[in-house]
């Protein structure tokens, strides 16, 4: 089950406001302009980055009230977020010599995930998608579960930020 919202990507609706921070080692939390929350995790010198990213994200979901989930839809929304984090971090490991940072932001309507890396490649769903073949499903999964996703590059700076947005559970 994927998460959806009743308005188009980029339209976050009215500003609901949110707040809080956990202060865990390796992360920082700041308030984004939309009144939501942002958490960052640096992977500098870390090993086991995929489980580390999932644990970090799970802690944020608890802090933001996505977990514990009271309904099957809310559980599915949280599992979608954890799966997308896993896929983006795994892609950075496989195709870009590992991730540099994970950033997650939530404003009660949209949760945005960004994974930065030093790679030059351009992530894309493998086409045609062949469900029965091993490998190559990561960006197809991201595309299917997310409201929108893309790649940000800064001129003159190596690397990129791969981002994905999911609708918050109702």
pLDDT in tens, 6-36: 333 444 443 333 333 333 334 433 334 355 8
Token look-up 């599992």 returns 79
pLDDT at 63 (0 to 100)? 93
Q: pLDDT for 102-135, tens place per residue?
A: 999 998 789 999 999 999 888 877 666 667 766 7
Q: Would the CA dihedral through 125, 55, 67, 24 be positive or negative?
A: negative
pLDDT grade for 166, boundaries at 50, 70 and 90: very high
């Amino acid at each position: 089950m994927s998460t959806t919202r009743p308005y188009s990507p980029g339209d976050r609706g009215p500003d609901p406001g949110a707040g809080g921070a956990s202060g865990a080692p390796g992360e920082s939390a700041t308030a984004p302009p939309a009144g939501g929350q942002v958490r960052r995790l640096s992977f500098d010198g870390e090993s086991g980055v995929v489980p580390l990213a999932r644990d970090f994200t799970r802690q944020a979901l608890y802090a933001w009230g996505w977990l514990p989930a009271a309904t099957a839809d809310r559980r599915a929304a949280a599992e979608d977020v954890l799966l997308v984090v896993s896929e983006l971090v795994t892609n950075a490991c496989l195709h870009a010599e590992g991730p540099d940072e994970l950033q997650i932001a939530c404003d009660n309507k949209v949760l945005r995930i960004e994974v930065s890396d030093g790679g030059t490649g351009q992530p894309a769903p493998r086409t045609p998608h062949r469900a029965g073949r091993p490998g190559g499903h990561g960006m197809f999964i991201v595309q299917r579960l997310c409201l929108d996703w893309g790649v940000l590059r800064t001129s003159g700076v190596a690397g990129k930020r791969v981002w994905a947005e999911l609708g918050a559970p109702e």
